[in-house]
A and B are shown apart, each in its own frame.
Chain A
Amino acid sequence: MGVLRAALCPGLTQEMVQLLRSRGIKTVVDLVSADLEEVAQKCGLSYKALVAVRRVLLAQFSAFPFNGADVYEELKTSTAILSTGMERLDKLLDTGLYTGEVTEFVGSPGSGKTQVCLCVAANVAHSLQQNVLYIDSSGGITASRLLQLLQARTQDEEEQAGALRRIQVVHAFDIFRMLDVLQDLRGTVAQQVISSSGTMKVVVVDSVTAVVSPLLGGQQREGLALMMQLARELKTLARELGVAVVPTGIQEMIDIGIWGTSEERPVLEGDQT
């Protein structure tokens, strides 16, 4: 994981780090997976010290195992189900969008994905009184349409204004900008106490393919890596912050180059609940 540094754990001094580095052990993973007797011999360090350091590092960096019952209990208490505002869609999604999960809407041009996203945002902001973050990458959001959806739910202008205030809109037209936005979100939610108008419960990303498709295909491999980065960010966001993430994509068969034969062209689809 991390690079070995002197202050990482109590037993690790600067000379130890230098000696280890000269033998090719630069990261925590290298140290933990190395054969300590050999290392002790080659670097001239005490075996006991190395074992102690390894134990501390493992305790610090390894993931803590949960048992299934605890996970289930935690899920039951922390997951919320958010209605989308459309009965049929709720029934399809098993009563609604689950927080902690990524739900992707896919469809061809003009099929209504942005409409669904706007409807979800309006419903969550108004009926459930929760904050929504709408990340727009294709210019499809129009606030007047949101207002119209809200006007259908309530005639009270104060309520409409309140609901509109709960929907935050960010424009992110390339992938690095989108990753920045997601990272900022993690940072601000981690620092902030629950704000007066409710917590952030839904993150809508419209659309994911617009930022990813310029990168995929051809000889470049970085595109796939960036796509996986984005997917991982979204999933981590969903899981850690307990929000429902809703990206939209287009349905298309794309050719990612020499990575697949012509029969197995992968379809650009993300996670599906």
Chain B
Amino acid sequence: MQRDLGSFPLSPAVRVKLVSAGFQTAEELLEVKPSELSKEIRISKEEALETLQIIRRDCLTNIPRYAGTSESGKKCTALELLEQEHTQGFIITFCSALDNILGGGIPLTKTTEICGAPGVGKTQLCMQLAVDVQIPECFGGVAGEAVFIDTEGSFMIDRVVDLATACIQHLHLITGTHMEEEHQKALEDFTLENILSHIYYFRCRDCTELLAQVYLLPDFLSEHSKVRLVIVDGIAFPFRHDLDDLSLRTRLLNGLAQQMISLANNHRLAVILTNQMTTKIDKNQASLIPALGESWGHAATIRIIFHWDQKQRTCVVCTYVSSKVILKGTLKIFLLIFVTVTVFEHSKNLKFYFLTTVFLRREPMLVHFFASCTLRPKYLLKHRYGNFFYMLL
């Protein structure tokens, strides 16, 4: 393999020694024995052995991979991926309109970011999801456990008790009409103690603890294989307070985002991150945008933004690709559709703005799904068109 040594995850000291000894590609190291290598470049035998293992394992593509490698190593065709997606469940939120927009609920193997102004209900939603993930499969849930990483200290156990009790009652009401044995058995296990014991709670007080906790999560998850949801409540808080160096912050956040999506993919779970809002002042206009900067905007797969609109909560879904959400249509002009669904807290509907532009050509149409982030449609229109035409120009 003509693979450059710089592309292997070797320690910098070893790499410098290898390069100064004249080794440049992996091919040259394939026949070298560890003892020879340690003598030649003056490193310890253990280091030489480790280095050669790293290089040889990646070079020998003909040998089938060990069972221990993660799932991200496997290639699959889109057809297999489709079959996997169909069998995958969603974590329902018990808010039917929100579930509808998301195409069934919070999807597994993806990261979802929930942004909103203070008091709009992000932590409440997270606590609800921690209970909902445990709903048994016969009721349409994923029957999994939850990990709750709290950085702001806003987790209230008595509220979770209320939510769990309400959920149990709801399921009892459903079985009241069905009376199947499967459902009865499942309900016996779905008790308050069980629900609470399956939420694993971690409290991280600052940025370092959070990063360490995320680093240790893969080991925890391999021991607790039933976990289907990881919630980080308040990912913005430690990063906005502790770090002054902005480029370091960007790097850490991007690294964290990649670790999260990798966890979500390898262990087939959903990751939920909660973000705060910040004010952006642009040409004498102030608007609320999600915190942590624009590079963080790409980090999560799905982004849900909550706003207050007088006494109602409104929700917007941005950057999400779901076949159930995107409209199909064949129109010859740009068609702008604003759809509004009103939310009331108790009846749990959802107010939802989205802006859709639909193109048609003689050939298959391309549907673009843009979502508004402000309550000012005109400004938004200019902004979104600006983005889109940037792409075309």
Contacts and interface: CB of A to CB of B under 8 A. Distances in A.
Interface of A: 1-4, 26-27, 30, 85-89, 92, 105, 107-116, 118-119, 121, 125, 134, 137-149, 152-153, 161, 164-174, 176-177, 179-180, 183-184, 187-188, 207, 209-211, 213-218, 222, 225-226, 229, 232-233, 250, 252, 254-257
Given A139-B109, A165-B77, A174-B262, A183 B321 contact: no
Given A109-B297, A143-B85, A218-B247, 11 more contacts: A1-B24, A109-B318, A109-B319, A143-B81, A144-B322, A165-B77, A169-B76, A177-B73, A183-B3, A218-B248, A226-B6
A2 B321 contact: no
Given A174-B262, A176-B9, A112 B22 contact: no
23 contacts: A26-B22, A86-B366, A108-B297, A109-B318, A112-B391, A121-B78, A142-B322, A144-B323, A152-B328, A152-B365, A164-B77, A164-B82, A167-B77, A168-B78, A169-B75, A173-B72, A176-B9, A183-B58, A218-B245, A218-B251, A225-B6, A229-B4, A252-B295
A95 B204 CA distance: 53
B138 interface: no
A169 B77 contact: yes
Contacts of A168: 75-78
B28 A139 contact: no
A176 B7 contact: yes
B110 interface: yes
B7 A140 contact: no
B38 interface: no
Contacts of B120: none
A241 B388 CA distance: 32
A247 to B, nearest CB: 14
Closest 4 CB pairs of A and B: A109-B297, A214-B255, A143-B82, A173-B262
A33 to B, nearest CB: 13
Contacts of B24: 1-2
Given A176-B9, A217-B250, A138 B294 contact: no
Interface string B280-310: 0000000000000011011101010000000
A112 B245 CA distance: 31
B323 A148 contact: yes
B63 interface: no
How many chain B residues sit at the interface, stated as a range, is 35 or more
B93 interface: no
A3 B23 CA distance: 6
A252 B298 CA distance: 11
B12 interface: yes
A113 B264 CA distance: 22
Contacts of B369: 115
A110 B364 contact: no
Nearest to B319: A110
Contacts of A211: 258
B139 interface: no
Contacts of A114: 321
Residue among A142, A164, A226 with the most chain B CB within 10 A? A142
B160 interface: no
Contacts of A140: 301, 321
A112 B85 CA distance: 22
B1 interface: yes
Contacts of A119: 366
B363 interface: yes
A2 B5 CA distance: 12
B388 A179 contact: no
Interface in B312-362: 318-319, 321-323, 326, 328, 361
A216 B85 contact: no
A145 B7 contact: no
B154 interface: no
A256 B387 CA distance: 25
Interface in B52-87: 58, 61, 71-79, 81-82, 84-86
Contacts of B364: 85, 149, 152-153
A138 B254 CA distance: 11
B214 interface: no
Nearest to A109: B297
Interface in B246-276: 246-248, 250-252, 254-255, 257-259, 261-262, 264-265
B173 interface: no
Interface in B1-53: 1, 3-4, 6-9, 12, 21-25, 28
B392 interface: yes
Given A3-B22, A229-B4, A85 B322 contact: no
Contact of B294 (A109, A142, A152, A171): A109
A254 B21 CA distance: 35
Contacts of B86: 144
Nearest to A173: B262
Residue among A121, A214, A215 with the most chain B CB within 10 A? A214
Given A139-B110, A142-B321, A147-B323, A169 B78 contact: yes
